[in-house]
Amino acid sequence: MSSKRTPSMSAKPASNTLLLSMPGNEITAEALGALLGFASMPITVHTFPDGESLVTLPEGIADYNVVLVCTLDQPNAKLAPLLFAADAARQLGAKRVGLIAPYLAYMRQDMRFHSGEAISSRTFAATLSRYLDFLLTVDPHLHRVHMLGEIYAIPSRVITAAPAIVGWLHCHVTNPLLIGPDVESEQWTAAVAEGLSAPYVVLEKIRRGDSDVSVSLPDTRDLLDRTPVLLDDILSTGRTMIAAVTRIRESGLPAPICVCVHAVMAGDAYQALLAAGAAEVVSCNTISHASNAIDITPLLAQGLLPFCQ
């Protein structure tokens, strides 16, 4: 059993909303709390030798609206402690229990691609919906599912990182050409290109396996004076972006700047992408990573307000 003391509030917070961070989400919760004037406190998770989790919430949360903060990369390890925390918050008297998940996992397995496969996005959504009252997230991978409400049974809000990405590119890149590595990325690429009044192209992608990806680039000979900016929602193995960087370099364009919303960065993705010739790799801070350069906390704060009335 953990010997750590349970954190508690030294003074009653002015607001009726409390932000409770799951481990690893303290910085996001504190930044949101500072922007909104909400208290933020950590939830502790002790892992027993057998792998089970002991989740401990701060004292004094009764009658507050509790907002759990937990980004959901590496979701399997995070799900059980998150559900324990949500259930405990309700038992301890929280009025409502919501979740800010800057990255929402399992959105890509939105159909049965091969016989026998689980449709994970639906089961994951049903599980979270069972324990939570609302959900706030950033650019979930909406493709065949068009709105979170199709699979989540609770009120949800989606924040798009596009304005923050536009702001960063506006300050750091002159004469950009936005490039989406596959048809699914067009929604983000088009929005950012419009915000910058810049042209965009979208590549065609074929994925044969987790790390086996090829893309084809349309004719960009009229755009050789532009700085290519590759933009995708999720950078996981990096193989999509690596294939795109290779095509872009072959076409005579300069080395691209690679931008993603969610730096999932599985395995050697970051190093491999830099080694493949990316000029720079930049991400939003929905998942903590060395590439984080674009702060989406103000957008999250705005998105949370309607849930805190």
Closer residue to ligand R5P (CB): 133 or 233: 233
Residue 108 Cβ vs ligand R5P, minimum distance, rounded to whole Å: 6
Q: Dmax over Cα atoms in the chain, in whole Å?
A: 65
Q: What does the binding site for ligand R5P look like in residue numbers (CB under 6 A)?
A: 108, 141, 181-182, 184-185, 213, 232-240
- Name which of 67 and 231 has its Cβ closer to ligand R5P: 231
As measured in angstroms, the least distance from the Cβ of 89 to ligand R5P is 32
The answer to whether residues 244 and 273 touch, using CB atoms and an 8 Å cutoff, is no
Q: Which is nearer to ligand R5P, 236 or 283 (CB)?
A: 236
Nearer to ligand R5P among residue 159 and residue 281 (C-beta): 281
Find the shortest distance in angstroms from Cβ 182 to ligand R5P.
Answer: 5
- Tell me the closest approach of the beta carbon of residue 183 to ligand R5P, in angstroms: 9
Read off φ and ψ for residue 155, nearest 5 degrees: -60, 140
Q: Which is nearer to ligand R5P, 54 or 183 (CB)?
A: 183
**Minimum distance from residue 235 beta carbon to ligand R5P (Å):** 5
